Homo-oligomer: A and B are copies of this chain.
């Protein structure tokens, strides 16, 4: 049979397909938007910013690498490389954890704190202008609900959803 009518994206009804195509476009464009603003204004990738932001909100501005990696949705190897570079730039300081000598604590330095503080307003403005303000309050609430729904499936460790994960 000629498959010309059935495109490579099948199995979704027209409404679902349309929603998906728009959603993928958003998902592909948002990271670049965040990265380029932060890179331009603060010489940080979005991931680096997120790492610093999580540390800045932690007690003592300090977290274990493992905890930090799950808070930033990243693998431990990726985090390790990034924290190493941040340490070389003087924004973070690593030290062995006293209670468990396998573990490493990552702490924000004073300079790191200052960098996050300076980067935050521009970042928040970008988020507001590009994501929050274009939506109604109702849509923001819908996006929250939808994201939570998706994270139940997507989030490997379910750390954002206090529910028992299905077998893995």
A interface vs B, CB < 8 Å?
3-4, 6-12, 15-16, 18-31, 33, 49-50, 52-53, 56-57, 73, 116-117, 119-121, 123-125, 127-132, 134-135, 137, 139-155, 160
Bound complex: CA of A143 vs CA of B149, how far in Å? 12
- Chain B residues lying within 8 Å of A24, measured Cβ to Cβ, are 30, 50
A22:B160 contact, CB within 8 angstroms? yes
B154:A10 contact, CB within 8 angstroms? no
Bound complex: CA of A145 vs CA of B26, how far in Å? 12
Rounded to whole Å, the gap between the CB of A34 and the closest CB of chain B is: 8
- Chain B residues lying within 8 Å of A152, measured Cβ to Cβ, are 134
Interface core residue of A6, A27, A56 (most chain B CB under 10 Å): A27
